[in-house]
Amino acid sequence: MLEKLKNHIKSEFDLEFKDESLLLEAFTHSSYANDHHQARHKNLERLEFLGDAVVELCTSAYLYDKFPELPEGQLTRIRAASVRAESLAQLARECDLPQFILLGKGEEMMQGRERPALLCDVFEAFTGAIFQDQGYEKARQFLSQVLFPKIDHDDFSHGMDFKTALQELMQENGEVKIDYDVVDTKGPDHNRTFYVEVKIEGDSYGVGQGNSKKRAQQQAAKKALEQLSQKQVGDQD
């Protein structure tokens, strides 16, 4: 198992562990360690504890840099949606990590390899192992491969209210008129794509698209925030 895992992470993420015991520990569930207690296997719980903090820190730093205009409350909601158990379990599956988990017989029979909470723990433990073996920057690079693009693509949009963030930002100093107009629709009724333009005081700040008007509005607001953020950076330069 360890050799296959090493080959997998090398080919997929360009990772090579200096301390391979950390890699094994990250994929050893407590049920397996208990079933093989004489071998004194370490289980993933300590690395999961570490990885939980690493994932949150890296994600916080990424969001802080990406959305300099967003208030703390909105950043917190985006982060919570991005690092919740279901999101990280999805990443574990997409990284093909479940096949390498060492489970006890009982946990295997109960289909533990498919449980979101367990997969989340493994993803965090693996991230913690990367951090412990190679440091913060390598852990951040791993997350930039597998997690941050999903934030960019709005895959965790259930936690992101860009319309509210834009409204709060623009109305800090008084009322500002923000309009969302449907400028185009494409596709059949059962699979329609909406295109919505956002205007602030009559000026266009971007067009968003989505399979509903609400989603397209959120995408338009996101583009407006990104444009405002770029403008702020440009003004500082």
Residues 141 and 184 in one domain: no
179 vs 81 pLDDT, higher one: 179
Residues 123 and 228 in one domain: no
Region 70-83: what's the mean pLDDT?
A: 85
Residues 45 and 149 in one domain: yes
Q: For residue 158, name the pLDDT band (cuts at 50, 70, 90).
A: low
Q: Which residues are catalytic?
A: 52, 124
Residues 149 and 169 in one domain: no
State the total domains in the chain.
2
Query: What percentage of the chain reaches a pLDDT higher than 90?
Result: 56
Give Cα 181 to chain centroid, integer Å.
30
Residues 118 and 227 in one domain: no
Average pLDDT value for the chain = 88
Q: Tell me, what's the pLDDT at 234?
A: 54
Residues 41 and 131 in one domain: yes
pTM over 0.85: no
Residues 193 and 78 in one domain: no
Q: Tell me, what's the pLDDT at 108?
A: 79
Q: Which two tokens stand for residue 156?
A: 């965790």
Q: Which of 155, 174, 190 is the last residue of a domain?
A: 155
Residues 108 and 194 in one domain: no
The domain in which residue 48 lies consists of 2-155
Q: Is the pLDDT of residue 124 over 90?
A: yes
Region 198-207: what's the mean pLDDT?
A: 94
Q: For residue 58, name the pLDDT band (cuts at 50, 70, 90).
A: very high
In this predicted model, what pLDDT tens digit does every residue of 10-37 receive, in sequence order?
A: 999 999 999 999 999 999 998 888 877 7
In contact, 31 and 112? CB cutoff 8 Å: yes
Residues 15 and 54 in one domain: yes
In contact, 27 and 126? CB cutoff 8 Å: yes
Q: What is the CATH number of the domain that holds 145?
A: 1.10.1520.10
Q: What is the CATH number of the domain that holds 209?
A: 3.30.160.20
Q: Is the pLDDT of residue 237 over 90?
A: no
Residues 175 and 83 in one domain: no
Q: For residue 233, name the pLDDT band (cuts at 50, 70, 90).
A: low
